[in-house]
Amino acid sequence: MTPASTPTSTARQCSTPRPDGRGVCVAHAPRHPAAHRLARHALVIAMTGLAALVPLAAATSGVAAAQHAVSHAPLSIPFETGSAEIPASGRRAIEDFAGGLPDRTRVLVDAYATAAADAAPHAARRLALDRALAVREILSGAGIGPTRIELKVHGTAPDGPADRVDLDIREAG
């Protein structure tokens, strides 16, 4: 064998010792074409394995956000009969609700109201609309964009308290 084709041994270069007294050594790859190909192939395999983990991590974070959204309990804000003014405790509850939402989550606002028997037929829906708009204003102030808020105005509630606004969430599609 000629000196040019003879593989050289792995060179080691040590720097200053670590606090525990052992040196830090850096090994250099052998200067042989086959060894270089083998080292490069091992690197590609290692990088491919790491690249496969990146989508998995992204999917895991998406799942965590969806689980957070699913675990976010609906909120119901009671109102005084005939009033669209949000009580102070309701205001804090809405702000807390909005503060914990993931970025792409939509907020559904269902507003219900009752009207006096001698009121106009649309009076209950008008009062429910005023309540929904008041809740939307608080949500907007808490950083929820207007395209993420969906208002549904109902008259009389089919079940539960008659004068209320319900907030729930839905993942954006």
Q: Dump pLDDT digits (tens) for 91-150.
A: 999 999 998 888 888 999 999 998 887 888 789 999 999 999 999 999 999 999 999 999
Rounded to whole angstroms, the Cα distance separating 134 from 100 reads: 20
This prediction's pTM: 0.57
The helix (H) or strand (E) run that includes residue 160 is: none
- Rounded CA-CA distance 1/20 in Å is 43
pLDDT of residue 18: 55
**Which two structure tokens, joined as six digits, stand for 25?**
């050594």
Q: What local confidence, expressed as pLDDT, does residue 38 receive?
A: 59
Greatest mean pLDDT range, 14-18, 56-60, 96-100, 146-150:
146-150
Q: How far is CA 109 from the centre of its chain?
A: 20
CATH assignment of 74-171?
A: 3.30.1330.60
Task: Give the long-range contacts of residues 116-121, CB within 8 A, separation 24 or more.
Answer: 116/82
Q: Report the first-to-last Cα separation within the chain, whole angstroms.
A: 68
CA–CA distance, 78 with 164 (Å, rounded to integer): 4
